[in-house]
Every structure is written in structure tokens, then in C-alpha cells.
Structure 1
Amino acid sequence: MKKLFTILFLLGFVAVYAQNSLSGKITDTNNQPLEGVEIYAPMLHKGTTTNQKGEYTLKNIPNGEITINVTFLGYKTITKTFSFKNNSITDNFSLKEAIFEIDEVIVSTPFNKLQSDNVMKVDRLTAKSLQKTGASSLAEGITNIAGVSQISTGIGIGKPVIRGLSGNRVLVYTQGVRLENQQYGSEHGLGLSDNGIQSIEVIKGPASLLYGSDALGGVLYINPEKFAPENKSQLLFGQRYFSNTLGSNTTIGLKHSGNLWNFLARGTYALHSDYKIPTNQRVTNTRFKEKDLKLGVGFNKDYFTSELRYNFNNTVVGIPEEGIKEQTTTTTPENPYQKINNHVISLHNHIFFGDSKLDADFGYIINDRSEFEEHEDHDEDETEEEHEEHGDEAALRMKLKTFSYNLKYHLPKFGDFETLVGIQGMHQTNKNFGEELLIPNAKVNDFGAFVTANYEWNDINTLQAGVRFDNRAITTERHEVQHEDETHIFNAIDKSFNSFTASLGFKTLLFKHLDTRINIATGFRAPNLAELTSNGVHHGTNRFEVGNNNLSTEKNIQVDLSFEYDTEHFELFANGFYNSINDYIFIAPTGEVEDGAPVFRFTQEDAKLYGGEFGFHLHPHPLDWLHLESSFETVIGKQNNGSYLPLIPANTWKNSFRGEFNVSNWLQSGYASVSLNTTFDQNNISSFETKTNGYSLVNLGFGGDLIFGKTKFNTSISVNNLFNKKYINHLSRLKSDGILNAGRNIVLGLRFTI
């Protein structure tokens, strides 16, 4: 594999050097030059910015058709495709002011269109917007996207939920490769820092055509931060303080970009004590620590570009078991707790052949997960670092290694007809090193092949369709685990799952200002190792879980209908969906007790989910500083026998009132906001859930860019749960113990770039 990485990375040196460049001047509609406008080529992972005269130059562009995005805060994004063939192109742009958010290129879809041109409805949240929310983690931050929620264990562990589907039904991509970190468990967090990312894209609905198994419910696509503009160096610093957990999040980054090479490095250290509930008590052992390192190097030359990234994340997180005990503000978890080391290596290559292009992406992930249960002889004088390093005491330890590949060939365009063919695959091994087992030693092999096409006509109509075949093979070893007076047997299995998937989407301008999208897609998900093989107490969930090796592949078909009405001062959207799932896998209690824990068994039943997201954004004229946004989201999940599905989020209604302003030359992009988020009663519950009362939370936000000389300090103040409301979210795993969610939290943030 190392040889393969080296060969692909050095391919660029064998091509003939192409002296392609793009230059020009960017002005506003009054012909005034704009400084700081970003000119970026997504497929090259490189860009530049305009100088004081509005001039720019982007060098070392390969031959072929290259799409360039021109973006500047407060102005409409321009995207344009240029054809390079050993030449230099000069092109000037005039930017028009935009009232609403910048229209960005969507990376998670096959043809990388602007969202306004995409057949699929994709929601996007920038890193800057994420920081403004005051979220303690990445999983919490993405819940600000309509239709997205999280299954949480305190504030340190969160699992994304897209329209009622979670776990292995939501595929997470980071650095352009699929994240594999034992995501079957609801008490297994993302293991990703919210620092060092550019944006988050969410596909709500089956995306198996593009990503294979585990994308049945949707995709969370996390784009890493960009390199510095061409021929520039940057030093970045960020600091956040969280009042509720007495928490701190510190990040430092360094970037440098030349004509051919780009480099970046970022380190993050975060720590939080137990979170405080509105009764002024702290929930024992919800504390956590996180260390994160991100490195990147990019190369652009001739007919070839390459980007190599590495992310190491170390998380030590407590697992609350006994509710509220002795009050402390320590950040060192007691038992039980998890220690996770996650390594993500990704290599992205783009090879240009004039009118066509090959994307060759490779990923290697090592997930080392340990669970500690007993430290009875722990020395009180032992340091926190020594306490954490007792790896030989882990009761449970699993190492998951995953190699993935993704080859996509963009065929030459035929008029307005684009075609993409590709193959994807994965080789995965899981090995156990602790005394206890949750899942056996196993191997998983995936292979998929697909073709998809996009056709546009009359500038208002787009049709997109595709088909795919996948195979997943799973083999496991037999284990006998002695537990007290019981022997738990994990029988060996050797199974193969096949599936065909397809999608069809259509976008049109139905009436003036009214964009309409309709998508029909099928998806599938092969049962995971826990669902097939579990046979023992899972301490993270406090239950005895029993697998079922006769489980079938989940298959679904979903219909999405989207309307967007967009004028200069008003936006209105309505997204509806209906999702029919055959052989939906879920876990249910049997009424038995084994090893002192209730027994839960995996089973299947046909099911359906339906609902949608609806809302508006008002920017009244002539009050240019005012924004009023409102959204309502709902989902209902039912088995075909009439019973409700578990872990379905309650209906929510979110309202925000935001003012934007500038103060002289020292405060730019200032904002002040107040939001009211209402969560309704959840009475549609499964047979082993209890109803959850509704609640309303008020949040405040204030911030902007403080200008001192040539340095811009981005500041933010967030107050979440302003009135310290007592509430329990239906998707909280602590709900069964009657433990409240977090009380008031004041978050102070400061970021700057030198």
C-alpha cells in the first residue's frame, strides 16, 4: 500500500510542464476594486485572493476544464469553467451584492455543482457558523441543520441522526474518506474535532449510489480546512471557554502555500469537566479530554494534483453510570471510561487528460478503542497522565483497521451531458485484545461499481440518474468468553450481501423564483458485526445484547420533494420525504435478565419514515441589517405492524432574530442574535421507551471582527439555555435515569490569523 501511495503521489513529475495561469481584476458593480476576494479551484485544492487593486493571479493550472469559484462575503458567488491548454487566460469579474448566504460548491455530490444548480438538496454549515452556535462538540453543532439531531450521552458523546436514522445508517466522510470507528454503538462518538474543518455538508436521504453500504439514511460530509492562498503564510490561533463545564478549547495552526507545494499543521487541546444541570449539580463522569493533530501537504503541477492529509485524535471520555454522585470539577474520568486513538490518513489525486479527469482517493484508518471498568487500586497521588496510561487494565480493547479506495473517472462532456463512472472498495479487520468481547475478530470486504450521468437543458432543467452494484463479505472467528459462571459463545460466520441501487433526480424552475427538485433513490445497508454476532453485556448501554446471524440486508426507497422560493428579500423552503425500509434492524428487550442486565435482541421489521423541513428567511427592505429565520422539522417512524420506531426525534420549531452591522472601521461583520428553539412533546414512542415532555430554550449570540491594524480578531459570545431551563431531550441516553440536559452555558470565543 505504501508503494501505491508513493507511485500515485509522484505521477505529477512525469508530465510535461504546462504554463497555464488565470489572472484578472475583480470589482463591484460600481467598478471599485475589491480586496480579499477568494478565487478558488476546488478540484486543485488551491486558490488565491485579490490585492488592494482587486487583481489576482492563479498559476500552475493543469490542462483541461477547470472550474473556478469567486467568493466574497456579502456578494453573490460566481462559478465559471475555463478550458486550459498550455495558455494563460485573463478574465475580470464584477460581483453583485448578495443579501443571503454565499452559494457554495457542494463537494459531496457527484458533479460538484453550486447548491443552486444541484439536483440533490444538500444542506451546508460553515466552520465559522458552527463556532457561533457555542456547541461543545462537532456532533452538537450539526444539530443546527434542519432535519439533523443527535443521540447524546452527556456532552462528550454524540451520534448524528438524519431524519430519524442513525448509527450505521449514516455514513460519515472526513478528509474525503469514509470514517470507520466502530460507529454501530450509540455511546461511540464521532471522534472528530470541530477545529481544522472548512464546512459540513449533509445529504438527507439514501446516498448508496455514491457511497455504498451504510449510506442508507444519509451522509455527513466533513470538508477539511483549505490551504493558505497561493504564495502566502498564515499563523492561526483560536480559544474558546465554556462556563457550564469549565471547559477550554485551544487550537493553533500554521499554513504556507507556494506555487507548487502547500503545507498546513494544526493542533487542538480541549478539556471539559462534568456538565452542570439547572439544579446546579454536575452529572458525574460526563467529563472528557481531546487532543487533535491535523497535517496536510498538497502538490500541484502539470496534469496532476495530489493532497495528503493526516489526522490523529485522542479522546478520553467518561461514561456516566450512576447519575449524580460526589461533585467535582476534575477532568480525569473515573470508571467506566473510554480511551480512543483514531488515525486518519487520506490521499487524493486528480489526474487530468484534457477533456476528462480521474480522481483516485485512498484512505487508511486505525481506530484503537479501549474501555476501562475497574481502577480499585488507583493511587490518589497518581497524576492524570499516569491514570490514563493504564492500557494494560482495559477490560475491552478493539483495533479496527480500514483501507478504502475510491476511483472516479469523469468522461469527456458531450454537450450538456456529463457522465461519471467509478469503483469503490474497503478492506477492514477487527481484532480484540481485552478480556471482554463486544464483537468478534472479523474481516469485512466491500466492492462497488457505479455509473451516473447529469444532463442540463434550457438553463433551467437538470436530470440526473445512476445505477450501482455492491457486494459486502463478512467473516468472523469463533470465540468462547468466560464471564463469571457463564460461557458466552461467538459463533463464526461467513456471509455475503449483494445489492443493486439506483437514483433518479430532476430539478427545474417551475415558476419564476421557484426551484423544484424531486428525487427517487434506493439504498441498502448490510447488517453490522454487532447486529450479527453480539452475545454479552454491553456496559456502555447497560444491557445484555444478543445478535442474530440470520439478519437480512436493509433496503429502502425514498422520495424527496423540495421547493425553494427565492427573491431578493425573502426565501421560503419546503422539503418533504417518504422513506420505506424493508427489513429494518432494531434492538428490542426480551424481558429476560442475564448477568444482571436486561436482555436485548436484534430483530427486523418493515418500516417507514416520513416528514420534512419547512421554513423561511426574511430580510425586509429597507432594513438591510435585519434577518428573521424560522424552520419547523418533523419525522414519524413506524413499523408496518403499527408500532413506532425507537429513537425518533421530537418535532422542533426554531426561530431566530439576527441583526448585522459594522461600527466604523474597528468592528466588521458584527452580529447580534436571539433565538427561540421549541421542542414539542414526543408521544410517538416504541414499546420500550417513555414519553418526553416538550420545552423551549432561548439562546443569545453576539460577535464580529475587531480590527486592530492589519490583524482581524474574530470574537463571539454565545449564551445557550439563557433561562437555565430544566429539560430532557428524547434522544438523550441519560433520559432513562431521569438526568437533565445541560443548563446555562456561556461560551466565549476568540480567533485570529497573522
Structure 2
Amino acid sequence: MLRKLLLLLSLFLFVSLKAQVIIEVKDSSETTPLKNVQIFVVELDQILYTNSSGKALFSPGKISEYQLRISASGYEGKVITYKEGNLIKINLLQSHIDLHEVTLSGTTSQRQDQNPFHIESRKISELSLHAPINMGEILAKIPGVYQSSLGNGISKPVIRGMQGMRIVSLVNGLRIEGQQWGGDHGMGMAELGIGSVEVIKGPSSLLYGADALGGVIYYNDAPFASAKSYDIQLQSLFNSNTMGTVNRAILKTSGQKWRLMVAGSYANHADFKLPNKLFAKNSRFDESVLKAAFSFNAKRSVHHFRYTYNRTITGIPGHTHDSIVDFSSFQVPDQKRKYELPAQFFSNHYFSNENKWYFKNNELIALFGLTSNQLIEYDEKVTIPSLSMTLNNLLYTIKWSKKWGKHLKSVSGIQGMAQTNRNATNASDTLIPNSNTIDNGVFSTWIFEQSKWNFQGGVRYDIRSLNSLHSFNDNTSLARIYDGLNISIGSIYKSPNLLVKQAVSTGFRAPHLTELLSNGFHHGALRFEIGDINLKPERASQFDVTLEYSKEHLVFIFNPFVNYIQNYIYLQPIDSMVEGIKVFEYRQQNQVLFYGTDIGFHYHPHFAHKLHWESSFSFVNAYSGEDSSISLIPQPRLSNTLRLDLNIGKIVKFKDLALTHVFCLPQNNVAYNESQSFAYNLVDFSGTFEYVKKSRISLNVGVKNLLNQQYIDHLSRLKNISMYAPSRTFFISLQWLLNSVNN
């Protein structure tokens, strides 16, 4: 009897060990084991960490192969494929600089140096060294990306001179729609739970359909907790300029086959302070965010359910109905916090269900989503809104990936959206009519990789149906069909020290209802707008080159581009006023050429291993053969950051110091009736301390606009009322992290 029990126990242990795979990670010398290496198993949506021996246990299921993404601080990341065996040996090459994160926004998840289309991938933590106040400020740290803001509460991303409806935003693959045609409508996206952001610059219709003419912003949630563990994260941030606070809480827990995350945050800011010690009247805002995600994996599949609720109340600085505007009336001696009219109330709901099935050499992804955006604006009356619009969207994406051998892969699919816009009957004004929009697209792209070369090419066809449901501004109900065929071709050549990318891509954007039918006040944007029902779709063609030279301690990137747009739609200020508000007309240029470059430089000197010097220069310009009518072109920008990794101390560590200098050159290339902008300098400084024992406590303190520079950015919506940006700001951020990892 005892012999049988021992035999059964031995058999059980054999089966258990066989079902688990040991991952062993060492440095390139194969002698030093690496601790705390992160291993992300894509097909299981699972994170593992190596122990002090450089080992981690991995339990594969029924899937024929697994993709493992390996990353460790100070080492070059890797993506490997596991098919069989009980031991995986991985050696990581020491690297002082690794700019090639794995991107998710491309056709397939791959490192940046394996994708011919230039994608900027950044961790939110790296972009938040100096406590940015909104997501727009975070994105503006990326070369070629800027923000167009209306105070602190309303901010929109600008990519290579384009914004609004020409930029498509996604979170975990779900397209975000939020009345982005309005200059005074925010993004509806908060930092809570976001781990990284990727930016595709230029036309991206092949992947994301109509509208992605200027680029794509792709937000990725931070990973779940590692298997059989939990994470608790609490953070509080204080901003001296707005006397504002931000409080966040995140709970993550994971089993072997399931993962859960719940989070919440609340931000509250009073009117911001100006360099002249006055305050920007009605620039206050507060934001509440709730977030939840659940994921589980079956034998051959992974399933995600995600939900986010975002509610923002923001004042509208510079809003007026006066026929004669006194700019000084918008700068007041008292700082206030409680909202007063005029004010906007934004509510956003985002829900998505993503499902991935894995077969031999095949992968099927189906994503279904629902988004709802409600915008209510109260102007003069508390009981009657001046605007009240609800935008609902049903979205789907179905992608099939197929490996046709060792070197060839295809990704094909369909994608679409059904959108409804409805105005509340009790609103006093209507900016756009009730409408229905239906998008559908089909695409296919092929990837060939061999030795030092990588080629990608694809084609996509989109069709959009746009219908207004009633007459509007003396126009009968509108019914239009727009369609577009787009291509994308790119290649990579890679040698040990040189990376060369070149890509050609096209895109199209149908005119929006506000461009076709507007005829009235848009007080939040300080404009009276007149549309044109005869506008044609915009069509873009971009040529983009990336040259990257790298050595052990140095990386240099040169990324010039040319974007040729036909039928470019723009707002032209005319020499007319209505009740003290400037009149703008939507017009169309036959052809416009956007051109420019992003230059990046990262140096990690051998003689000072703790020092990092990151520098970037971004320049964009626009040329029209007809006249100088392209407005809101960003100022050329030079940014330098010095970061010193100290790590002094044992239990309490002085972790790092960071100094950033931004120099924006003057913008003299302006449109008719658009004013020029002066050059300005900004200096930010911060330091981080850490207490590490069973839990980790981080303290980040610093100052923004250290020199108290008086400046107005060329893209600021407050430029019309001559209002400066916020003055010197001190900040302090305290974060507590507790995790329990079951090795």
C-alpha cells in the first residue's frame, strides 16, 4: 500500500513539474543571474518576475506557442517565442539606453526597431517627472506632440500641427469619441491606471480607418498584478499654483488564470495663478474617475472586460457675451474653487470586451466596445443648459493573424462604428443637429522579415454614411456617403549601429457636421463659426524617414517627414464681429504641404554612469500655394532633460534628480488675422526619494516654471484674451506601493 502511494506521489510530482517551465535569466556572460526581470506572457496576459536566482516558473496551457516579452532595467529587452521544453534560458545584453519598447498600437505587437512605421512609445511614469496637471501636458513631453489648451481643465493633443478630428485616440484598442471637433472640449482621458502611451505620427488609416489623418494616440493600461499576488497603490499630489490636489487608489489582484483591477481618483483645482500674482478667472476644474478591469484565460484564449467612468466639471476662462471685451476682467485678485457659470460638465463611459483565440500559426482577435459622451454647458442660467449633447458609439474590430512560414505573416480584418448624436430638447442652443454616422472598413497587411530587412505593406477600404435627422441652419436634412482607399508601405534596414526606416502612408477624413452646417456662436472657443455644405473629404499622403544611430552610450534619431493634404479644411478668421466675437468661416484649400522633423538625442556618458542627457528638437511648418491660411502651427521646440540616478542610501534612498529646460522659438509664420508668438524658456526641476522595506514609499518634490516666465504658447486658446500661462508652481507627490508576490 505504501509503495503504491509513493508511486502515485512520484507520478503527481512528475506531471506537475512537466506542466511547469523554468525560465532562467542571466546576463550576457551567462554567469550572473538577474533578479526582478519582468516576463510578460502575451497569450496568458500574465506577468512573472525572476527571483534572486534569476528564475521564474511558467505554466503553459494548450496553446502551441507563447510570446514572452523580457524587460529589465539596464538591459536590452527581448521578445522570444516558446514552443516546447521544460527550461528556457535567456541572456540579456547590458544596455545603458534602450529606446525600443514593445508597441501594441501597430499591426502586431513588436519592438519599435522591428516596425517600419515610426511609433513613439513612452511610459507614463517617465513623462510625469514634473507632475503634469492633465493628460495633454503629459503627451506634450513627446517629440512632435503638443497641446492646445483652454486653461488647465481643457487640453487637446496636437501631432505635427494637426488636432481635433484629425487625431484618433484609443485606449486598449477601443476608439474614444468625445465631440473632439470643439476647441473647448477636453479629451476625457485621465492618467489613472494608464501604464504607457504610443503615438503614431501621420496618416494611420490602414490600422484605424477614417479620421486618423494627423496621427493616433494609443493608451495602454498598466499590467495586472503578477500571478498569485496583489498590488495596492495609493498616491496623493499637491499643486501650489492651483492649490489643487489629486488622490488615486489602485488595487490589483491575480490568480493563476484570472486578473482583477479596480481604481479610482479625484482631482480638484482652483483658478490658476498668473505671473502677475492675479488669477485666471473661472479656470478651475475637478475630475472624478472610476476604473475596473477583469481578465481570464481559458485553454486557448484570453478574455478582457474593461470599464472606465470619467466625469469632469470645468470652468471656461475668457467666456463672454459682451460686445466690447475688456481682457483685464478675466484676471482677478481672488482665487476661487467652487464652480460658477459658465461651466461645462463632461461625462464619459468606456466599456470594452476583447477576446483573443490562439491556434497553430493563427490568432483571432475580436474587440467590441461601447462609449458614451455627454456634454452639458451652462451659460447664464443654472436651470437651462445652453448646450446638451450625448454622443453614443458602438464599435467593433475583428482581426485575423496568420503565419505563412518563418518569414511571412499577414493581418486582415474588419472594423466599424455606429454613432448617434442627440441634442437635449431643453437646451437653448444647438451647435450640430441630431445625426447618425456609420463607419465600416476592411483591411489587410503583410509583413516579411529576413535577416537585416523588414517589409510591411497593406491596403484598406473605408466607407462612411453621414445623416442629419432634421433641417438645420436653413439647410435641409443631410445624407452623404464618403469612401476612401488607402495604402501603407514601409521597410527597415537594421545593422548593429544603424537603423533605417522609410514609410509611405495615405489617409482620408470626411468633413464633420460642424464643418458642413455651423452657423452660430461657439462661446467656449470664443468664435462665431460658419460652415460650408460643399466641403469635400480630405486626403493625405505622407513620406516618413527615420535614421537611428546607436552606440553603447549614445542614440541619435533623425525623423523628417512630408505630409501632402488635398482639400484641407480650415477655419479662416474674417474681418467681421458678431456681438464682440470674431467670425470664422470653414474653408478648403486645394493642397497643403506639412513638413518638418523630429530630432532625438540620448547620451549616457561612460565617465558618469549615473547621468542621462535626453534632448529633442521638433519643427513643423505648412505651405499652401494659395495664401498663408494655415493657422495654429506649433512653435519650434527644443527640449533638454538631465537626469541623475543617485540611489544613495539603503532603507531611505535619494533616488534621482531631474532638470528640464524647454525653449520654444518664436512663431512668425502665421495665417491672415493670426497674431505672432514670442519665444519663451521654461525650467522644471524635481527630485525623488524612496523608502523601501516590505512596502515602497516614494516622495517626489519639485518646481515647474522655476524662473516664473511670462509666456503665452502659440496654441493656447487663451491667447485671444492675452492671458499668460500659469506662474511658478511647486508640487509634492507621495506614493505608497505594497505588493505580495508568490514565487
Q: Which bin holds the TM-score, normalised by the shorter protein?
A: over 0.9
Tell me which moved more, 167-176 or 304-313. Answer: 167-176
How big is the shift at 1:627?
1.6
Contact 1:64 1:356 in 2 (8 A): no
Partner of 2:429: 436
Partner of 1:659: 644
Residue type of the partner of 1:705? Answer: E
Q: Tell me how far apart the structure 2 counterparts of residues 501 and 89 of structure 1 sit (CA, whole Å).
A: 46
Counterpart among 396, 402, 405 of residue 405 in structure 1: 396
Partner of 1:23: 22
Partner of 1:353: 359
Partner of 1:688: 673
Contact 1:126 1:199 in 2 (8 A): yes
Q: Name the SS for the 2:403 alignment partner.
A: coil
Partner of 1:182: 179
Q: Tell me how far apart the structure 2 counterparts of residues 724 and 419 of structure 1 sit (CA, whole Å).
A: 53
How big is the shift at 1:20?
6.3
How big is the shift at 1:512?
4.6
Counterpart among 622, 625, 633 of residue 618 in structure 2: 633
Q: How does 1:234-383 map to 2 (within 5 A)?
A: 234-321=231-318, 324-375=330-381
Q: How does 1:323-722 map to 2 (within 5 A)?
A: 324-375=330-381, 392-433=383-424, 434-458=427-451, 460-479=452-471, 488-489=473-474, 491-509=476-494, 512-594=496-578, 597-605=581-589, 606-667=591-652, 670-707=655-692, 709-722=693-706
Q: Tell me how far apart the structure 1 counterparts of residues 643 and 231 of structure 2 sit (CA, whole Å).
A: 31
How big is the shift at 1:95?
2.7
Quickly say closer, same or farther: Cα 1:272–1:43, change in 2 above 3 A.
Answer: farther
TM-score scaled by length of structure 2: 0.92
Q: Tell me how far apart the structure 2 counterparts of residues 153 and 686 of structure 1 sit (CA, whole Å).
A: 20
Partner of 1:5: none
Q: How does 1:209-220 map to 2 (within 5 A)?
A: 209-220=206-217
Quickly say closer, same or farther: Cα 1:596–1:673, change in 2 above 3 A.
Answer: closer
Partner of 1:130: 127
Residue type of the partner of 2:419? Answer: Q
Q: Tell me how far apart the structure 2 counterparts of residues 583 and 98 of structure 1 sit (CA, whole Å).
A: 47
Q: Tell me how far apart the structure 1 counterparts of residues 717 and 354 of structure 2 sit (CA, whole Å).
A: 38
How big is the shift at 1:90?
2.1
Residue type of the partner of 2:389? Answer: M
Q: Name the SS for the 1:64 alignment partner.
A: coil
Contact 1:478 1:489 in 2 (8 A): no
Q: Tell me how far apart the structure 2 counterparts of residues 577 and 622 of structure 1 sit (CA, whole Å).
A: 36
Q: Tell me how far apart the structure 2 counterparts of residues 298 and 421 of structure 1 sit (CA, whole Å).
A: 25
Quickly say closer, same or farther: Cα 1:405–1:734, change in 2 above 3 A.
Answer: same
**Is residue 228 from structure 1 mapped to residue 262 from structure 2 by the alignment?**
no
How big is the shift at 1:177?
0.6
Tell me which moved more, 422-431 or 405-414. Answer: 405-414
Quickly say closer, same or farther: Cα 1:596–1:657, change in 2 above 3 A.
Answer: closer
Partner of 2:735: 751
Quickly say closer, same or farther: Cα 1:715–1:62, change in 2 above 3 A.
Answer: farther
Tell me which moved more, 727-736 or 25-34. Answer: 25-34
**Is residue 162 from structure 1 mapped to residue 159 from structure 2 by the alignment?**
yes
Q: Tell me how far apart the structure 2 counterparts of residues 281 and 678 of structure 1 sit (CA, whole Å).
A: 25
How big is the shift at 1:49?
1.4
Residue type of the partner of 1:94? Answer: N
Tell me which moved more, 405-414 or 573-582. Answer: 405-414
Partner of 2:324: none
Q: Tell me how far apart the structure 2 counterparts of residues 185 and 65 of structure 1 sit (CA, whole Å).
A: 47
Partner of 2:7: none
How big is the shift at 1:32?
3.5
Q: Tell me how far apart the structure 2 counterparts of residues 365 and 449 of structure 1 sit (CA, whole Å).
A: 22
Contact 1:503 1:521 in 2 (8 A): yes
- Write out per-residue CA displacement over residues 440-465 of structure 1, whole angstroms, 9 at most, x where no aligned residue: 1000000000000111112x110100
**Is residue 46 from structure 1 mapped to residue 30 from structure 2 by the alignment?**
no
How big is the shift at 1:745?
1.3
Contact 2:278 2:332 in 1 (8 A): no
Counterpart among 139, 143, 150 of residue 140 in structure 2: 143
How big is the shift at 1:89?
3.8
Quickly say closer, same or farther: Cα 1:468–1:669, change in 2 above 3 A.
Answer: farther
How big is the shift at 1:51?
2.6
TM-score scaled by length of structure 1: 0.91
Q: Name the SS for the 1:91 alignment partner.
A: strand
Residue type of the partner of 1:25? Answer: E
How big is the shift at 1:672?
1.0
Contact 2:640 2:662 in 1 (8 A): yes
Q: Name the SS for the 1:214 alignment partner.
A: coil
Tell me which moved more, 118-127 or 147-156. Answer: 118-127
Identity across the alignment (%): 33
How big is the shift at 1:591?
2.9
- Write out per-residue CA displacement over residues 399-441 of structure 1, whole angstroms, 9 at most, x where no aligned residue: 0000110000001332200101010000000000022101110
Residue type of the partner of 1:365? Answer: T
How big is the shift at 1:623?
1.4
- Write out per-residue CA displacement over residues 688-733 of structure 1, whole angstroms, 9 at most, x where no aligned residue: 21011101111112114332x2212222223111010111100001
How big is the shift at 1:521?
0.6
- Write out per-residue CA displacement over residues 328-382 of structure 1, whole angstroms, 9 at most, x where no aligned residue: 333222211100110000111101122101010111001011001024xxxxxxx
Q: Name the SS for the 1:681 alignment partner.
A: coil
Partner of 1:115: 112
Q: Name the SS for the 1:168 alignment partner.
A: helix
How big is the shift at 1:179?
0.4
- Write out per-residue CA displacement over residues 83-115 of structure 1, whole angstroms, 9 at most, x where no aligned residue: 36xxx6421223332211463210000021111
Contact 2:344 2:377 in 1 (8 A): yes
Q: Tell me how far apart the structure 1 counterparts of residues 379 and 42 of structure 2 sit (CA, whole Å).
A: 46
- Write out per-residue CA displacement over residues 608-641 of structure 1, whole angstroms, 9 at most, x where no aligned residue: 1000111311111121111222221100012221
How big is the shift at 1:43?
4.5
Residue type of the partner of 2:431? Answer: L
Q: Name the SS for the 2:65 alignment partner.
A: strand
Residue type of the partner of 2:462? Answer: D
Residue type of the partner of 2:659? Answer: V
Q: Tell me how far apart the structure 1 counterparts of residues 574 and 124 of structure 2 sit (CA, whole Å).
A: 44
Q: Tell me how far apart the structure 2 counterparts of residues 422 and 100 of structure 1 sit (CA, whole Å).
A: 36
Partner of 2:95: 98
Q: Name the SS for the 2:330 alignment partner.
A: coil
Residue type of the partner of 1:455? Answer: F
Q: Tell me how far apart the structure 2 counterparts of residues 240 and 508 of structure 1 sit (CA, whole Å).
A: 45
Contact 2:387 2:429 in 1 (8 A): yes
**Is residue 34 from structure 1 mapped to residue 29 from structure 2 by the alignment?**
no
Contact 1:544 1:597 in 2 (8 A): yes
- Write out per-residue CA displacement over residues 581-607 of structure 1, whole angstroms, 9 at most, x where no aligned residue: 000001113334446533322111021
Q: Name the SS for the 1:734 alignment partner.
A: helix
How big is the shift at 1:37?
1.6
Tell me which moved more, 715-724 or 198-207. Answer: 715-724
Tell me which moved more, 558-567 or 99-108. Answer: 99-108
Contact 2:318 2:721 in 1 (8 A): no
Contact 1:438 1:536 in 2 (8 A): yes
Q: CA RMSD in A?
A: 1.7
Residue type of the partner of 2:656? Answer: Y
